[in-house]
A and B are shown apart, each in its own frame.
Chain A
Amino acid sequence: MQKEKDIIQGCLSGSRRDQELLYRRYAPKLYAVCLQYAGNTEEARDVLQEGFIKIFENLSRYSHEGSFEGWMRRIIVNTALERYRNRYYLSRVDDIDEVGEPEAEPDTDDFAGLEAYDLLNMIMELPPKYRMVFNLYAIEGYSHKEIGEMLGISEGTSKSNLSRARVILQKKVALLTGVTRRMVNV
C-alpha cells in the first residue's frame, strides 16, 4: 500500500492518479462527516466535492505534523460551516415548548441495538442549528465559545441549542431503542 506521504507528494506534482488514490482512500470517511453536517445527501455531496477541492488546493500547506486525516476533516468541517453560514442564520432561538423538557438521561444499556447509520440519521434529522452545535460540541469537541465564534452566535445560544439537540436525540434514541427492546424480548 502506497505511503501517505508519497501520495501527497504525487498530488503536489500534479499526478491525477495520486489525487484519485487520495480521494478513494479518504472520501468514504469524510463523506460520513459531510452527512453529519449537511442534513441531506445532495448537500453532503456538494460539501464533499467542495471540501476535496479545498484539500487539494491547500495540500502544499500541510506541514506533515499531526494526522493528515484530521487535517482533512477540519477542512471538510470548515467547508460545511461556510455553506451553512451562507444559508442559515442562528439569531432566532426556538421556543423551548417546541422541544420539550429534557428527559432523564438514559443508561448506556439503553443504547443497545443502535446502528451507526441510525445515529447518523438522527443527527441528519435535527434542525440545522441544533445539528451544527451538536456536531461541533459533542463530536468535534469544540467549546461553546469556539462554536459561538465559528457560527456567529453567543455562547448562551450555543448552549441552548446543544441542550435542545440532546433532548431531541434522547427522545429519538428512546423511541428507537424502546422498539428494539420490545422486539428483542418477544
Chain B
Amino acid sequence: MFNREPNIDVLFRNGLKDMEVLPPSDVWDNIPPLPVKRSPLRIITGIAAGVAAVASLAVLASWYTRSNNATADRLPELAIVSGSQQAVRVRGTETPPVTTRADITTPVNETISMPAERNREEALTVPDNQPLHLLAQAEMTPVKAKDDNPVSFSPEDVTIIASGYFSDSDDLKKENIILSADENAPQRFMVGASLSPAMGFTMPGQDPGVNELENGESGRSSYTTGLTFGYKISDRLTIHSGIGLASIGQTITDIDVFAGLSDFYSVKSNYLYTVQTASGLILAGNTDLYLADSRNRVASLVSGNMNDPSKYNLPQVGSDIRQVFRYLELPLMLRYKLIDRKVGLNLTGGVAYGFLVDNMAFTGQGSDLVRIGHTEGVSSHNFSSQLGLGMEYNTSSNVSFNFEPVFKYYVTPLSQITGSPYKPYSLGLFSGFFFKF
C-alpha cells in the first residue's frame, strides 16, 4: 500500500553516512599546488608580449634574409630561344604553417543533479559494542576485484575515525553544477612537434602565357615541420606559436640537363641559362650545365651553332628541374576545443608570417642531385592564413596527438613579378604530438 524504502537501502545509507577512513599518506603528496587565479589583465599582457616577440623575430629574420640574398644580374645579351617575356604566376604547392594543438585530457562537462529530497527514515541503531573478532569470523565469499587484488577489508587495514547514520541534510539541495573535468587546467603550457604534408592548388589565371607555363609544371610534395609552443588561455581556448620550416615548390618537366659544358664553353657571366617558370625566372648559376627545352622556356647566352649537346658528347644528368622554396614560418594560432574528451575535436585558425630562407633549383635523381641555380621574383616574405578542423587524441594527461585537415591560403602573393599576384591555397594534414606541463 505504501512505497516503503527497502530496509537494505536504509541500512547501507545510514550505516555509511559520516563514515571516515584515513586515506593513504602519499595521496596529498601527489596533489599539485593550486595555481593562483590569473587576472584577465595578466592574460592579455601575456598575449601581447607573445605577439611582440613574434613580430620582433620576424623583423630580425627579414633583415637577415635581405642582407644575405644574392642580387641577380641579368645576362647582358639574352637570346630568347623562342616565346616572349610575359607576366608569370607562381604556382606551387603550399603547406600549412606549424600549428600546435591545445590541451589534453578527457575533460567532460557534466551536469550533476542532486537527488530529489526524500522522506527521512528513522535512524537505524547500530550498536558498536560487538566484538571485532566476531566480525572477522564471518563466512563471506571473497570476491576478487578486477585487478585481482583481494577486496577484503579487514579491521587491520583501515582506521575507522567515525561511523554513524546517514540522513538527508537540508543543505543538500538539488542543484546543478557544471564540472570541468579538464584534468590539465594547471598544465597551461605545452610544447610539441609537428609534420604537415600538403598538396597545393591554384585557380586558373587570366594570363594565357602563365597558364601555358603551368601546363609544363607539376606540383611537388610539400611539407611543414617545426616546434610549437602553446599557452592555455581557458579550458577550451589555447593560443599557439612556434617556429617551423615550410617547403614548397614545383617541378618543371621536359627540360633536359647535361653536365660538362664548362670544358667546352665559358662566358664571363654568373649565369649561362635562364628558365621561365610560373613561379619566376630560374637563373642557372651552374655554368657547367647545358639546358635544352622543347617548349621554348629556356634562354641562353650560348650561340645558336653551338646549341647542340651532341657536339660535346655531354652526359645527361636530369630530365626536369625542381624548384624548392623554404620558408621559416612564425605562426600565431588559436585552437578551440569543440569536443573536450579523450578523443576530441578541435577548431584551429590563425595567421603565419613566413620569410624565405632557401631558394634553389636542382636536377638529378636520388643522391645524385645537381644544383642549377635559384629562382628570381619570389617574394622574400609572406603572410598566410589557415583554418583547420581535426581530431585530438589524448593518450595521457600530458601527451596528446593531433590529426587535422588544414586549409591554407596565402594572403600576400608568393611572386613579385608585376601583374602576377599569385595567392595559392593548399589542403594538408597536420599531425603532431604535444607534451603538456
> Taking beta carbons and an 8 Å cutoff, which residues of A are in contact with B?
11-14, 16, 19-20, 23-24, 27-29, 31-32, 35-36, 39-43, 45, 48-50, 52-54, 56-61, 65-67, 70-71, 74-75, 77-79, 82, 86-87, 105-108, 111-126, 128, 134, 137-143, 146, 150, 166, 169-170, 172-173, 175-176, 179-180, 183-184
- Indicate whether B32 reaches chain A with its CB closer than 8 angstroms: yes
* B143 close to A14 (CB less than 8 A): no
- Cβ of A53: which chain B residues have Cβ within 8 Å of it? 31-32, 183
| B32 contact set on A, CB distance < 8 A | 53
Residues of B within 8 A of A (CB): 6-13, 15-16, 18-24, 27-28, 30-37, 106, 108, 110, 112-116, 118, 124, 126-128, 130, 132, 134-135, 137-140, 142-143, 145-147, 149, 151-153, 155, 157-158, 160-161, 163-164, 166, 168-169, 171-173, 175, 177-183, 185-186, 342
Q: Judging by beta carbons under 8 Å apart, are B160 and A57 in contact?
A: no
User: Nearest Cβ distance between residue A18 and chain B, in whole angstroms?
Assistant: 9
Q: Are A82 and B171 in contact (CB under 8 A)?
A: no
- Chain A interface mostly helix, strand, loop or mixed? helix
Are A120 and B27 in contact, with the CB atoms below 8 A? no
Q: Are B179 and A58 in contact (CB under 8 A)?
A: yes
Q: Give the distance in Å from the alpha carbon of A52 to the alpha carbon of B18 in the complex.
A: 18
Structural contact, A119 and B15, CB atoms closer than 8 A: yes
**Which of A14, A16, A112, A116 lies in contact with B19, CB distance below 8 A?**
A116
B27 contacts across to A, CB distance below 8 A: 27, 45, 48-49, 52
Q: Distance (Å) between the CB of B155 and the closest chain A CB? A: 7
Q: Is B8 touching A166 in the complex (CB atoms < 8 A)?
A: yes
* B152 nearest CB neighbor, chain A only: A121
Q: Are B135 and A176 in contact (CB under 8 A)?
A: yes
Q: Identify the closest chain B residue to A10 (Cβ).
A: B34
Which A residues are CB-close (under 8 A) to B118? 141
User: Cβ of A123: which chain B residues have Cβ within 8 Å of it?
Assistant: 12, 16
| Known contacts A27-B23, A138-B12: A116-B163 contact under CB 8 Å | yes
Bound form: Cα–Cα A16–B35 in Å: 10
- Which residues of chain A come closer than 8 Å to B175, judged between CB atoms? 65-66
A56-B34, A67-B172 given; A113·B130 CB < 8 A? yes
Nearest chain A CB to B14 CB, angstrom units: 9
The verdict on A39 contacting B12 (CB below 8 Å), with A14-B36, A32-B21, A141-B118 known, is: no
Given contacts A23-B28, A23-B31, contact A120 B183 (CB under 8 A): no
Q: List 25 A-B contacts (CB under 8 A).
A: A12-B34, A20-B28, A24-B28, A28-B20, A36-B16, A45-B24, A48-B23, A49-B27, A53-B183, A66-B171, A67-B171, A111-B126, A115-B163, A116-B126, A116-B164, A117-B153, A117-B160, A117-B163, A121-B153, A124-B145, A125-B142, A128-B146, A138-B9, A141-B168, A179-B139
List of A residues within 8 angstroms of B115 by Cβ: 140-143, 146
Given contacts A23-B28, A184-B134, 8 further A-B contacts (CB under 8 A): A31-B22, A57-B186, A78-B110, A107-B7, A120-B16, A122-B12, A124-B153, A139-B16
Closest to B171 in A: A67
Of the residues A11, A27, A115, A119, contact of B34 by C-beta under 8 Å: A11
**Which residue of chain A has the shortest Cβ distance to B22 in the bound complex?**
A28
Contacts of A23 in B (CB 8 A): 28, 31
CB distance from B40 to the nearest CB of A (A): 14
**Would you give the shortest CB distance from B110 to chain A, in whole angstroms?**
6
Complex: A54 Cα to B110 Cα, angstroms:
13
Nearest CB on A from B159, distance (A): 9
| In the A-B complex, the 4 residue pairs with the closest CB atoms | A141-B115, A116-B163, A28-B20, A67-B171
Query: How near does chain B come to A42, taking the closest CB pair, in angstroms?
Result: 7
Is there contact, CB below 8 Å, between B149 and A32? no
| B120 → chain A closest CB, angstroms | 12
Contact call A141/B116, Cβ cutoff below 8 A: yes
Distance in Å: Cβ of A53 to nearest Cβ of chain B:
6
Evaluate contact between B180 and A58: CB separation under 8 angstroms.
Answer: yes
A143 touches B116 (CB 8 A): yes
Contacts of A20 in B (CB 8 A): 28
- Known interface pairs A32-B19, A70-B114. Does A52 touch B7 (Cβ–Cβ under 8 Å)? no
Contact B139 A175, beta carbon cutoff 8 Å: yes
Query: In whole angstroms, how far apart are the Cα atoms of A60 and B30 in the complex?
Result: 21
